[in-house]
Amino acid sequence: MTTNQASWEERVFRKQRECFNKIPLEWRVPDDLLSTFKKPMSEYKHDFIRANLIRRSGILTARELKITENYTVRELTTELAKGALTSAEVTLAYCKRAAVAQQLVGCLTETMFPEALERAQYLDSLRAQGNLAGPLHGLPVSIKDNFHYKGTEATIGMVAFMDEASKETSPLVDILLRLGAVIYVKTNVPQTMMTSEAQNNVFGRTLNPWNTAINPGGSSGGEGALIALRGSPLGVGTDIGGSIRIPALCCGTYGFRPSASRVPNGKMRACNTPGMRFILSVAGPLCLDLEGIQLFFETLFAAQPALYDSTVLDIPWRKLDALPPKKKLRIGVIPEHPAFPLHPPVRRTLTSAITLLKAAGHDLIPLSTAETLIMELNEVAMHLFGLDQAAISHVVAANEPVAPAILHIGTQVERLRSFHKSTISPDPSGLADSMGKFTILNARRAELRDKYRTLWRKYGLDVCIAPPAQSTAVRHDGFGLAPYTIFLNCLDYPSVVIPYGKVDEVDKGRKFELRHNQVGPGYDYDLLKGAPCAVQLFTTTLRDEECLQIAKMVNDCLNGERQVHTCFLRGRYN
């Protein structure tokens, strides 16, 4: 072991000890609660949600359990505004629940419990005087680690960024505070924030609370795991290739990727070269009900975010006319791409959703592989991401090991290139000039976006439905590429993931095997049984309002009374 290796390991040890010591002694999970679970937990299948471990920890009072389990986001804000709930008690309940969640699945990075409780008391004093700080008055909100929050660190799981306290707060977080929110925790991410595995050398691995042997998604994986355990009513993540939607899929939550430049995304920690952002990252919400996502956007845009962040387009959130109850939607169906085959539960989930939507009277229009351009858009995206090697350079410079999930993606990319002939002319792989590559790729992306515009008009589509991924959550470090989300980042189309069903007995015995000209994660029914499933909806650029409105209609059709939030309350997980 070299001196440098010892140095980064010692720094990480100190950081992890510091984080653990911030959890009050009375919030520590009893050792005997976890003693019956096999270790390491990432290698064994443990379901912390159905096992009710948060309740069994005995750390939350009956009232705190009610606060964290019996309210939607909108209901919480209503009760806080009325004074039926105080910000202090709501914040304390969520701080305690987040602390327990951290000890179970390792979903947090920074915790600001004392500061959050102090702010909550201030908000209660405002309320006592008949004033509210804003529409989110007293609501605890969790944020992904790449957001700056003054006085805390934003390491994004990179040794290179340790020991640097943020000197300012990111504009989006500042707006949330102006709206009355209470920021109390930051959540874990993957090394480089470019994989679907929330694991890094600074904070370790985040586990999926539905099954500790499978991944929670990424890069907003800490948010997904925390929200699944109801350790946060509303979380804010970011998405550059599926980083909101994949954790939503893996952890059974809702997640919305808005159009680029609609939600403030400036002054955040990033590991790319400044100015080299070819596909824009976007910030967006995750929570357990679509109404919470609606509330996030309504309140955010009412605050005129363009006044606080120059990365934002000054476009208000449009109030749409209500859809007629019997409105017939024209829904395009994104097909399974031959190179990116779907796991049996994913194919079944999509087929089931299509059947229900047809039965409800909607028009489902099958689209072809040639029309939907999944491979072509992924090829452009992968080349664009490859133009900037700053992230991996930070890892190498800090002398920390490269995360296994990053190496796995590299292997999959090489496999894909071994059988896929480039559709870009000239092939940018042979060019040494980065600007020349970017010019070619930008022209190709514009061409593909125009083809999608033509496709949309040709069929008169309202929305498209697609799988969020080839798989559900899978064994740790095995997720790999994200072809069914990245193509939408390349198009810059708003999209939402809706939880729908799970891997169950009907999937048993269905075979899955990758051919020589296919890429994807492995399939293991016994491992994945019980994992959440989902569908993905998307509309065209800047039609975020329509995307969310249609998502509500589709969600009601698919889930009916079995809403994710309600099912959690009633223990109806099957």
Q: Domains along the chain?
A: 12-307 (3.90.1300.10), 330-559 (3.90.1300.10)
Average pLDDT over residues 502-511: 96
Q: Which of 350, 318, 349 is nearest to 334 (CA)?
A: 350
What whole-number distance in Å separates Cα of residue 507 and Cα of residue 352? 13
Unique residue bearing structure tokens 């083809």: 451
Q: Which of 399, 356, 337, 274 is nearest to 4 (CA)?
A: 399
Whether the predicted pLDDT of 171 surpasses 90: yes
What whole-number distance in Å separates Cα of residue 230 and Cα of residue 232? 5
Residue-level pLDDT at 214 = 99
Quick: pLDDT tens for 317-368: 999 999 988 899 999 999 999 999 999 999 999 999 999 999 999 999 999 9
Contact (Cβ atoms closer than 8 angstroms) between residue 158 and residue 398: yes
Q: Which of 355, 274, 270, 283 is nearest to 535 (CA)?
A: 355
Catalogue the E-assigned strands of 89-215. 108-111, 140-144, 182-187, 199-200, 204-205
Annotated catalytic residue: which of 87, 170, 220, 243?
A: 243
35 is in an annotated binding site: no
Quick: pLDDT tens for 66-95: 999 999 999 999 999 999 999 999 999 999
Q: Which of 258, 251, 257 is nearest to 222 (CA)?
A: 251
Q: Which of 212, 209, 187 is nearest to 198 (CA)?
A: 187
Residue-level pLDDT at 574 = 42
Q: Which of 377, 401, 354 is nearest to 500 (CA)?
A: 354
240 is in an annotated binding site: yes
Cα Rg of the chain, angstroms? 22
Residues near 483 by Cβ (< 8 Å), separated by ≥ 6? 337, 339, 340, 374, 375, 378, 470
Q: Which of 248, 353, 315, 322 is nearest to 544 (CA)?
A: 315
Residue-level pLDDT at 571 = 46
What whole-number distance in Å separates Cα of residue 322 and Cα of residue 346? 31
Q: Which two tokens stand for residue 190?
A: 């993957």
Residues near 309 by Cβ (< 8 Å), separated by ≥ 6? 171, 172, 264, 265, 266, 267
Please name the helix (run of DSSP H) or strand (run of DSSP E) that holds residue 533, with its range, or none.
strand 532-538
Query: Residue 483 — very low, low, confident or very high, per pLDDT cuts 50/70/90?
Result: very high
227 is in an annotated binding site: no
What whole-number distance in Å separates Cα of residue 528 and Cα of residue 45? 9
Query: Residue 1 — very low, low, confident or very high, per pLDDT cuts 50/70/90?
Result: very low
Residue-level pLDDT at 361 = 98
Contact (Cβ atoms closer than 8 angstroms) between residue 528 and residue 349: no
Whether the predicted pLDDT of 3 surpasses 50: no
Q: Which two tokens stand for residue 568?
A: 């959690």
| Residue 144 annotated as catalytic | yes
Quick: pLDDT tens for 545-555: 999 999 999 99
196 is in an annotated binding site: no
Query: By percentage, how much of the chain surpasses pLDDT 90?
Result: 92
Quick: pLDDT tens for 431-471: 778 889 999 999 999 999 999 999 999 999 999 999 999 99
Query: Residue 565 — very low, low, confident or very high, per pLDDT cuts 50/70/90?
Result: low
Whether the predicted pLDDT of 569 surpasses 80: no
Residue-level pLDDT at 326 = 85
Residue-level pLDDT at 428 = 87
Quick: pLDDT tens for 241-267: 999 999 999 999 999 999 999 999 999
Residue-level pLDDT at 212 = 99
Average pLDDT over residues 295-321: 98
Contact (Cβ atoms closer than 8 angstroms) between residue 16 and residue 203: yes
Contact (Cβ atoms closer than 8 angstroms) between residue 216 and residue 207: yes
Residue-level pLDDT at 106 = 99
CB atoms within 10 A of CB 81: 18
What whole-number distance in Å separates Cα of residue 507 and Cα of residue 245? 23
Residue-level pLDDT at 4 = 52
Q: Which of 107, 284, 70 is nearest to 203 (CA)?
A: 107
| Residue 418 annotated as catalytic | no
Average pLDDT, the chain: 96
Please, what's the b/e burial string for 515-528 (b: 16 or more CB within 10 A of its CB; e: otherwise)? eeebbbbebebebb
Query: Residue 570 — very low, low, confident or very high, per pLDDT cuts 50/70/90?
Result: very low
The torsion region of residue 337 among left (phi > 0), alpha (psi -120 to 50) and beta comes to beta
Cis peptide before 532 (omega within 30 of 0): no
Beta bridge partners of 136: none
- The predicted model scores a pTM of 0.97
Quick: pLDDT tens for 380-395: 999 999 999 999 999 9
Beta bridge partners of 111: 185
Annotated catalytic residue: which of 166, 196, 219, 220?
A: 219
Quick: pLDDT tens for 511-559: 999 999 999 999 999 999 999 999 999 999 999 999 999 999 999 999 9
Average pLDDT over residues 139-144: 99
Contact (Cβ atoms closer than 8 angstroms) between residue 230 and residue 68: yes
Annotated catalytic residue: which of 15, 96, 144, 437?
A: 144
Query: By percentage, how much of the chain surpasses pLDDT 70?
Result: 97
Please, what's the b/e burial string for 448-486 (b: 16 or more CB within 10 A of its CB; e: otherwise)? bbebbeebbeebebbbbbbbbbbbbbbbbbbbbbbbbbb
